[in-house]
Structure 1
Amino acid sequence: MAVSAMILTLPHFLSQPYDYDSVFHNRHDICNLHENRSSTESCDKTKQLEDTNNLWVLMASAQLLFGVGSVPIQPFGISYIDDFAGPSNSPLYIAILFAVSVIGPSIGYLLGSVMLRIYVDVDRNGLGAEQELQHGDPRWVGAWWMGLLIATGCLVLTSIPYFFFPRQMHSEITESETDSTDDFKKPEVCLLDLLKMFPRMFIQLLLNTRFLLLILAQCCFSSVVAGLATFLNKFLERQYGASVAYSSLLVGAVNLPAVAVGMLIGGIIMKRMGLSLKTIPRFCVVMLTVSTLLCIPLFFMGCPTQSVSEVNHPVGLHQPLSKCYLNCSCPAGAFNPVCGSDGVEYVSPCHAGCTNFTKDPNNTHRVQLYTNCRCLSDGQNHAHPSPCVNSCPHFLLPVILVLSLASLIACLTHNPLYMMVLRSVPFEEKSFAIGIQFLLMRVLAWLPAPALFGMAIDTSCIWWKHVCGKKFSCGYYNNNLFRSRYLGLQVGYKILGILLLMILVRKERKTKEYDLEKRPEGSL
C-alpha cells in the first residue's frame, strides 16, 4: 500500500509544470484588436495531453497494488476477528474495524484540505512564492501529491506491527463452541485442490438465496458510497460555491465522522440487542427508509446556474456580437472566468471584450481588475478576475449536515448486514464468502457506480472546455439538472437496496428463528 501511494505521486514529478490561461503568460487572455491569429495555429498543449494519456498506466498499477495490500485488512481481517473473538463480541470488534477504517479517509480529507491550499508546483516555485491564482479560482490546482507522500510514510510505520502478529491468536470462543466447530472443520487443502474446488464453492454461494440478496443489497448501498466518495466534493463546489479545500474540510470533519459513528453504534446495537437473522433485515429496511426520506429535501436546496455570457445568457445586450469581441482574436480554448460589473460571468476577459487590466498593488503577479470591457451592458465596463459569487452559499452547511445525518442512520445497518453474511454461510467457507462478497461489491458497485454517476453529471453540462480541439472537461453545469440527477441516482440505488431487503424479510418469515451468536454448521 505504501508503494502504491508512492507510485501515485509520480505523475506530478514526471509531467510538465502546471500551465493555465493568464494575461501574464500571453496577451491572448485579453482582447487584442490589432492582432490576427491564424485559425490553424499549432496547439502547444498537445505534448501535455500525450503525457497525461501515458500516465494512466502508473495510476492503474498503483491501484492494483493498493488492492492487493488491503486484503489482510479487508476482507480477511473481518474473518480473522470473527474467528478469534467470542460470538457476542465480534460484532463490536468488526464495527470498530470499520469505524477506524473510515477515520483514515476522514484524516485524509482533512490533510487534503490543507495540502490543497498549497500551489501544486510548490516544489518548483518555492513555498513563499507569490501566486497569481487564488484558492477560489477554478484554475487553481493544489499540492495533491504532498498528502500521498505523507500517507506513504504513515503506511510504512503502521505496517510494522503486522510482522509481530502470531500465527494464531488467543480465542475468546468457549470450549463447547470450539468442540462444535472442530467437528466440521475441513482438513487443510493445497492450492491446486482449492482452485479445483473454486467453481463449485462459488456456484454454491450464488445459489444461497440469503447470501445473494444480502450481497446485491450491499452492492446498491456501496454504489451510493462510491458516488459520494467520488463526486461529493464536486457537488459541494458546483452547487454552493465551496472551494476545493473547504469542501474537503467539510467532508473530512463532518460527513465521514458521522459515518464512523453510525458504524460504531450499529456494532453496539448488535452486541446489546443481539439481533437475529429475522430481525436484521427489518431493522435495516426501517433505518434505510428513514435515511432515504432525509435526502428528499436536498433536491430543493440549491440555486440555478449563474448567468454566463453565451452559455445561458445573451452576449452584449446593447450591441451585436460583431462589435463586442469578434475582432479580439480570442482563443477557442480560453477559460479564465471573470465577473463583469453587470453581474454576468464571462468565460475569459477576452470574451468580455476587455482590452486592458490593472495589477494588484499587493501582488504584482495578480490582476486586480480588467478594464475597457466592451461586452458589458452596465456602462462601468470592468470585470473582476474571478467567477461571480455563488447565490447559494447559505445552503452549504445545512446540506452537509443533512447528508451526514442520513449517512449516520444508513450506517447503523452496516455492521448487522455484515454479521448476517458471516452467519449465512458454513463456518469453514466464511473467508471464501467474504472474499467473494468483496469481489462482487467491487465488480458490481465500485467499478460501474462512479462511471454511472460521472455520466449522469456529464449529461448536465452546458459548456465544455476544449483543448487542442478536443472536449476536455466541463466548465459550466445546469445546476438544477446536476443536483436532481446526482441525488436521484443515490436515492434510486437506496430504493433498489431496500426492495431487495424487503424480499429477504419475506423469505426469512418462512425460516426458523436463528440466534446470530451461534456459528452455523452449514448453509441456512
Structure 2
Amino acid sequence: MEGRKAVICFFVLFLTVYFLEAIGGFYMTSAVVSIEKQFQIPSRMSGLMVSAGDFGYIPSVVFVSYLGGKGNRARWIGGGCLMIALANFLISMSNFLFPVESIRLNGSVVEQRIEIDSERLSDDTTAESFFEYISKSIAATNFTDMIEVELPANLRNISMKKFAQKKLDFCYPKNESMNICNRYYDYLREVKAPTASDIANIRILMGAPFAFCSRLVNSLRDQIEYLKCSKDPSNLGPFIMIFGGLLILGVGRTMPFSLGLPLIDDNVKRKNLPVYFAGMFFIRILGPVLGFMIGGITNRYYYSFEVPPGLSPRDPMWIGRWWAGFLGISVVMFGPSLALYLFPTPSKKKAVGETAELENGDGVKISLKAEMGVEQQPLQKAKPTHKRNRSLALVDRNVTRDKDGNTVVPKNFDEKVNDFISTVKTIIRAPVYTGALIGRILDVFAFKGFFIFLPKYLEVQFGLPQHVISFYMGIVGVSGFAMGVLIGSVAMRKFKLQGRKAAAFVAVCSTMAAILSFLNAAVGCKSVLSHLADYSVANNGLFNSTCNEGCNCDGMPLYPVCNQLGEVFYSPCQAGCPLDETLATDSPHKIFKKCVCSNTTDMLVSRDFCRESVCESKFVMYFINMAISGVFGGMGVIPAILIILRSVPPIDRSISLGFQGFLVSLFATLPSPVVWGWIVDSACIRWNNVCGDPIRGACSIYDTDRLRLRTHITYGIMRLVSLISDVWVFVFAKDLILIDEEPVRDENGKEEEMQEITSDCIVDKDRKFSM
C-alpha cells in the first residue's frame, strides 16, 4: 500500500478507533449510576473505581509518548486500542462473573408462613366465625387460654384481621405451645387455605420493588435479607474486576492522543491544522454523543433478563443494562484496532526522501547536524524542487536521523535516561507550556468528577430516568461542545489568532463557561425525591408515622408513590397500603388501594399520581445553560491544543503531550472523581443499609438543595481559579506562532528565504548522544 491510498486508509482506521475510544470513555458516565445500584457501591468508592484508568495512565503515558514518538506510531496506537477493547470486555464480564444472587425461600417455608397469617382473610370475615370454630373443640382448648381472647358480644362482629392483631399477637412468630394458637392456625387453614396461586403471588411480591403494609410479606423479606447476609455478600469482587478493566483501559488510552496529534501535525500543512484538528475533535466529540445515546438505550432495559413486576425505568431502583454497552464497544473496536496494529510501514526511501537533508511537515529542510545539537542553524525555506508524492509519516518527521534515514535513538539505558531527563527539562522551562499545563490541570479537576456524577445529580434534582438524562447529555450537552470546537477553529483560521490573541481568546471562553456554571446553581426543582428529602429532614430521617405502625416498614425499598393531591410517600408501606395479591402482575401502572395514610377519601396512591412534569421547564433551562457553556468551552479547545504544541520544539511534541497527560492524570483525573464522590455523598441523608451497615450501601435520598449548591459553586470556583493560568499564558505568548504563514514568493514565483523566528516562550535544547 503506497502513497495517497496508504494515507487515506490510515486516517480512516485512526479516526475509527479514536471515535470508538471516545465512546467507551464517556459511556462509563452513563453506566456508573447503574453499577452503584447493582453492586451497592457508594459514590466515594465508585469515584475511586472510575479513577482506576488514571492509575494505569499515569505511570505509562510519559514513557509511551517518549518511546512511541521514536517508533512506528500506527503500531503503538493499534496496540493501545486493542488493550482498550480488552478492558471493555473485562468490565462487561463483571455482570456475569459476579451476579447479584437472588435468594429464594423454598415453597414449604413460604406456605407454612402464609397459612398461619390472617392478612389474607377477607374484610368480611368476623371474629364471631373464629369463636364458632373453636367452640366445636372446647374440650381441647385450655380454659385459661379462652379467657385471654374472650370479647364482649358487641365486639365480636369486628373483622378477624383486627381481632388477630390485637388479641392473638402472641401467636407470632409461630407459637405451638399454646392451645389457642394451635386452634387459631387450624381455623386459618380451614377458612383460607393457601392455594398454589396464592403462594406464587406472595413469592412474586416478596421480590417486588415495592413493599406493602404487610407483616406477612415484610417478615419474609427480612428472612431473605438475613439469609443473604449470612452468606457474607461483598461488592469487592466486581469492584476489583471493573477497577482492573479500567486500569488496562488507562494504559491503552495513552497512545491515541499523545501519538495521534503529532502524527496529524506531521502529515498536513500547518496552515490547515485548525481545520484538521477541529475535524478530529469533532469526530471524537461524536463519540460521547453516541456513548450517551447508547447509554440511553441500554438504560431502558433492566440489567437482568427477568424484570421484577411493577418496576419501570422511571423508578429510582431501576438498574439499566449497562454491561451490554461495554460488550458491544469491545466487539466493534477489536477489528479496526487489529488492522491499525498490522498497518504496513512505508519504505524508508518513501518516508524520508532521497536527500541527506530532511523535510518537516511544511517542506522546510532541516540540517541533521542542527537537529543533533551539533550546530544550530537558522531555518531556511527549501528551494523549489520537483513535485513529489510525499508518503505517510508513521515515524516523526522531526526525529533525528542518520545519513541513511534511520531514526537516531540512544543506544543504552543510561543514554535513554539522560535524553529523557533532558527532554523533560526542555519542555518545563517553556513558560507558555507550564502555564497552559497548570490551567488544564485545574479545568480537568473541575470537569472530570462533576461530569461523572452529573447523571446522578440530574436524576435526583429533576426526577428524570437515566435513559432520558443520557439522551439529553449526548444530544444537547456534548453537541454544544462540538459546535464550539468548530466555531473556535473557524475563528482561529479567519482571524489568524496567534500568540496573545489566541491566549486571550481561550481566557474569554473559559470565563464565560465558568459564569454559566454559577447560573446553573440557581436552577433547581422540587422533584419527587426532593419532597422525600424535605420530609426526611423535617422528621429526623424517619418516614414512619402512627398510621403505619405495625407495618414493619423499616428497611423496605424506596418506591415513591403519591396520592391524588400529589403528596409523596416513601413507599406503599409508609402509605399504609395493605397486601393486595392482584398487584403481582407485570404492569408498571399500579394503583394501591385502601391506604390508610393517603389523607384522601379514595385512599389510593400510585406512582402515576406523582407530578413529575413540574420540573420539565427547569430541566430545559438547565440544559440550555449547559449547551451554551459547552459552546464556549469548545471554542477554546483548538487554540489551547495549538498553544501546547507550538510552545515546545517540534521534536518534543509527543513527549510534551505525554508529560501533560501524566500530570493532568496525577493531579486532576485521578483524584477528581474521588473528591467529587465525597462532595456528592456529603449531601446524602438516607443510606441503603446492607446487612445493617450503611457504609456498604449506596445513597437513596439526597438533600437536593445542598447537593445543587455544593456541586455547582465548587465547580464554578475551580474554573475561575484556572483563569490565573490563562493570564500567565497571555503574558508569555507574545511571539508564539501557532499557524505558519504561506511562503512569500518574489515576482518570478520563487520562494524567498524565510527568516528564523525566535521567541522567549520556547526554550531551545542542546542535548547530544552517540550515533
Same fold, TM-score > 0.5, yes or no: yes
What is the match of residue 462 of structure 2? 240
Structure 1 residues 308 and 383 mapped into 2: Cα distance closer, same or farther (>3 Å)? farther
Identity of aligned residues (%): 21
One-letter amino acid of the counterpart of residue 229, structure 2: T
One-letter amino acid of the counterpart of residue 410, structure 2: V
Give the match's secondary structure for 2:270.
coil
Question: 2:533 touches 2:702 (CA, 8 Å); kept in 1?
Answer: no
Structure 1 residues 327 and 146 mapped into 2: Cα distance closer, same or farther (>3 Å)? same
Structure 1 residues 165 and 110 mapped into 2: Cα distance closer, same or farther (>3 Å)? farther
Instruction: Write out aligned runs for 1:137-176 (5 A).
Output: 137-162=315-340, 163-164=342-343, 166=345, 173-175=361-363
Q: Which moved more, 1:148-157 or 1:39-48?
A: 39-48
What is the match of residue 506 of structure 1? 731
Report which of the two has the higher share of helix: 2
Structure 1 residues 288 and 353 mapped into 2: Cα distance closer, same or farther (>3 Å)? same
Report which of the two has the higher share of strand: 1
What is the match of residue 132 of structure 1? 310
- Distance between the aligned counterparts of 2:308 and 2:551, measured in 1? 30
Shift of 1:111: 1.5
Shift of 1:487: 1.3
- Distance between the aligned counterparts of 1:330 and 1:43, measured in 2? 16
Give the match's secondary structure for 2:205.
coil
Give the match's secondary structure for 2:266.
helix
Question: 1:5 touches 1:148 (CA, 8 Å); kept in 2?
Answer: yes
Per-residue CA deviations over 1:137-180 (Å, capped at 9, x if unaligned) read 111112111112221122123324413253586987333x2326
Give the match's secondary structure for 1:55.
helix
- Distance between the aligned counterparts of 2:630 and 2:101, measured in 1? 37
1:220 maps to which of 442, 449, 468 = 442
1:267 maps to which of 467, 486, 489 = 489
Pairing 1:189–2:410 present: yes
TM-score (norm 1): 0.87
Structure 1 residues 330 and 95 mapped into 2: Cα distance closer, same or farther (>3 Å)? same
Structure 1 residues 442 and 45 mapped into 2: Cα distance closer, same or farther (>3 Å)? farther
Per-residue CA deviations over 1:98-152 (Å, capped at 9, x if unaligned) read 2211211211111121121122112xx4xxx785311101111121111122211
One-letter amino acid of the counterpart of residue 344, structure 1: E
Q: Which moved more, 1:247-256 or 1:370-379?
A: 370-379
Unaligned runs of 5+ in 1: none
Per-residue CA deviations over 1:55-77 (Å, capped at 9, x if unaligned) read 22221221122222223311110
One-letter amino acid of the counterpart of residue 637, structure 2: H
Per-residue CA deviations over 1:352-389 (Å, capped at 9, x if unaligned) read 3222336469x456572223333333344332147933
Structure 1 residues 374 and 360 mapped into 2: Cα distance closer, same or farther (>3 Å)? closer
Question: 1:12 touches 1:145 (CA, 8 Å); kept in 2?
Answer: yes
- Distance between the aligned counterparts of 2:220 and 2:464, measured in 1? 39
Give the match's secondary structure for 2:632.
helix
Q: Which has the larger radius of gyration?
A: 2
One-letter amino acid of the counterpart of residue 371, structure 2: F
- Distance between the aligned counterparts of 2:273 and 2:499, measured in 1? 16
Unaligned runs of 5+ in 2: 1-83, 104-202, 353-358, 373-399, 401-407, 741-756, 765-771
Pairing 1:329–2:552 present: yes
- Distance between the aligned counterparts of 2:758 and 2:245, measured in 1? 39
One-letter amino acid of the counterpart of residue 25, structure 1: G
Structure 1 residues 404 and 330 mapped into 2: Cα distance closer, same or farther (>3 Å)? same
- Distance between the aligned counterparts of 1:322 and 1:286, measured in 2? 55
Give the match's secondary structure for 1:72.
helix
- Distance between the aligned counterparts of 1:19 and 1:135, measured in 2? 20
2:214 maps to which of 21, 27, 32 = 32
What is the match of residue 718 of structure 2? 493
Question: 1:338 touches 1:384 (CA, 8 Å); kept in 2?
Answer: yes
Structure 1 residues 322 and 517 mapped into 2: Cα distance closer, same or farther (>3 Å)? closer
Per-residue CA deviations over 1:297-338 (Å, capped at 9, x if unaligned) read 3222212422458514559x9xx9673233222242533332
The root-mean-square deviation of aligned C-alpha atoms, in Å, is: 3.4
- Distance between the aligned counterparts of 1:469 and 1:256, measured in 2? 41
Shift of 1:228: 4.5
- Distance between the aligned counterparts of 1:218 and 1:80, measured in 2? 22
Pairing 1:370–2:592 present: yes
- Distance between the aligned counterparts of 1:226 and 1:420, measured in 2? 22
Pairing 1:53–2:236 present: yes
Structure 1 residues 34 and 517 mapped into 2: Cα distance closer, same or farther (>3 Å)? closer
- Distance between the aligned counterparts of 2:431 and 2:312, measured in 1? 55
Structure 1 residues 45 and 226 mapped into 2: Cα distance closer, same or farther (>3 Å)? farther
Question: 1:360 touches 1:367 (CA, 8 Å); kept in 2?
Answer: no
Shift of 1:49: 7.3
The number of residue pairs the alignment matches comes to 511
- Distance between the aligned counterparts of 1:84 and 1:252, measured in 2? 31
Structure 1 residues 180 and 489 mapped into 2: Cα distance closer, same or farther (>3 Å)? farther
- Distance between the aligned counterparts of 1:135 and 1:114, measured in 2? 11
Structure 1 residues 303 and 310 mapped into 2: Cα distance closer, same or farther (>3 Å)? closer
- Distance between the aligned counterparts of 1:325 and 1:483, measured in 2? 32
Instruction: Write out aligned runs for 1:56-455 (5 A).
Output: 56-122=239-305, 125=306, 131-162=309-340, 163-164=342-343, 166=345, 173-175=361-363, 177-179=364-366, 183-184=370-371, 186=400, 187-190=408-411, 192=413, 193-304=415-526, 305-307=530-532, 311-314=536-539, 323-332=546-555, 334-341=557-564, 343-357=566-580, 359=582, 363-364=585-586, 368-385=590-607, 388-390=610-612, 391-455=614-678
Shift of 1:463: 1.9
- Distance between the aligned counterparts of 1:218 and 1:27, measured in 2? 44
TM-score (norm 2): 0.60
Give the match's secondary structure for 2:453.
helix
Question: 2:563 touches 2:600 (CA, 8 Å); kept in 1?
Answer: no
Shift of 1:205: 3.3
